[in-house]
Amino acid sequence: MLETSLDIQTIRKDFPILGRTVHGQPLVYLDNAATSQTPDQVVNVIVDYYHRYNANIHRGVHTLSQEATDAYEVARQKIQKHFHIGKSHEVIFTSGTTHGINLVATGFTSFLKKGDEVLVSAMEHHSNIVPWQMLCERTGAILKVIPMNVEGELVMEEYHNLLSENTKLVFCNHVSNALGTVNPIEEIIEGAHKVGAAVLIDGAQAAAHIKADLQALDVDFYTVSAHKMCGPTGVGILYGKEAWLNKLPPYQGGGEMIAEVTFEKTTYADLPHKFEAGTPNICGGIAFGAALDYMNGIGFDAIAQYEDELLQYATERLLSIEGLKIYGTAEHKTSVISFNIEGVHPYDIGTILDKLGIAVRTGHHCAQPIMDFYKIPGTVRASFSFYNTKEEVDKLVEGVERAKNMLL
């Protein structure tokens, strides 16, 4: 395997939090699938905004408002370029992936009728299950599930069998947050379009690892959260094809999303403002653009290569622990490992690891149907980013072994 071209120790200096201690131990942060850390280059942009040009956007003629508006719209263009989106007004700023999914699910209420079918995959986050259940309850549509196998891969033959002229919507995550599986979204999108169905891909877990080309994918909707990819919390984007965004009704009413308001009738603004009611997370949007600059400066190919190196190393080391089982052994994975030790509850392992300064996630990871499939209460999830090291993997393995010896 090729050694990484990244200077990891220099990169780590951009993240001061990685130098802190927890319970007297050096922090080993392995919960990146929940939230990645934020480098100084992004934090400095946030500070600069509040120090120099904090103002509301799109409405003011004064200098600060113009500067804030310009910075916000430049960030939209950065996002457009990064994801290879055709038009900047197809980028809708949201509070995050969940917001984007709910916007689409609510908008489709007027398009579905009793007997229509909505497909979701068996490995979805609750945010990509519950909104569609609510949509089906409102419309009488039927929710159907694309099954998965024990390796944590979708059974694509069954997916194609489920598709029919009744299929109106298909929803799938690009990468499973619980298992790390990279799903074959190209095949999913192509199959759905053959029967005239629209497709929304949840890109929250993929965006930190995979630079998606949304025009090449021909996807109808794609959602992302900034905090998974070195940006701040509370901001994300929904990409939608212009034709779909024009069809969907506004998600919220308020300032910014209107063209004209009288007590008799209101007309709505053009894209993207139609879906951006109220004062947005201005600073968050600008910082999202800065986070993309930072990650692109490192290079997504180099990031992917190094994270795969970490994944392979951690997988081999963890499997050396007797009684440890990894859930999610798909051929194509990002740097996520979910595991359990026979006879030990994952919460107990996570608690001991925390006392050793090691941050992992435990539980069902907002993907309870996956845990039900494996008949387990949850897993310990270690998720790696480009600023993690093999030495940190070694500390994780030592910590898991220590926890096992204490609990068994």
What is the per-residue pLDDT across 298-320, written as a single tens digit (0 to 9) for each? Answer: 999 999 999 999 999 999 999 99
**pLDDT (average), residues 10-18:** 98
Query: What's the sign of the alpha-carbon dihedral 159, 161, 162, 168?
Result: positive
pLDDT at 5: 80
CB distance 389 to 356 below 8 Å: no
Backbone angles phi, psi at 69, to 5 degrees: -60, -45
Strands 117-121 and 142-146: parallel
Backbone angles phi, psi at 325, to 5 degrees: -125, 130
Share of the chain above pLDDT 70, in %: 96
* Whole-number Å distance between alpha carbons of 357 and 334: 24
* Predicted confidence (pLDDT) per residue in 96-144, tens digit: 999 999 999 999 999 999 999 999 999 988 888 899 999 999 999 999 9
Q: What is the CA radius of gyration of the chain?
A: 22
Short-list 137, 141, 213, 201, CA closest to 170: 201
DSSP string for residues in 196-229: T-EEEEE-TTTTTT----HHHHT-SEEEEEGGGT
What average pLDDT does the chain have? 94
- Residue 264 pLDDT more than 80? no
Short-list 108, 119, 104, 109, CA closest to 192: 119
* Predicted confidence (pLDDT) per residue in 15-38, tens digit: 999 999 999 999 999 999 999 999
Structural domains present in the chain:
8-30+299-407 (3.90.1150.10), 43-296 (3.40.640.10)
Cis before 272? omega within 30: yes
Task: Provide the token pair at 256.
Answer: 């910014």
- Residue 1 pLDDT more than 50? no
Q: Which residues are catalytic?
A: 366
**Residue 266 banded pLDDT, cuts 50, 70, 90:** low
pLDDT at 255: 66
Short-list 134, 234, 219, CA closest to 174: 219
Query: What's the sign of the alpha-carbon dihedral 194, 195, 197, 199?
Result: negative
Collect all residues with Cβ–Cβ distance below 8 Å to 209 and sequence separation of at least 6: 175, 300, 303, 304, 307, 334, 335
CA distance to 9, 113, 351, 376, per residue, from 306 (Å): 13, 47, 28, 31
- Residue 363 pLDDT more than 70? yes
- Residue 2 pLDDT more than 60? no
pLDDT at 251: 85
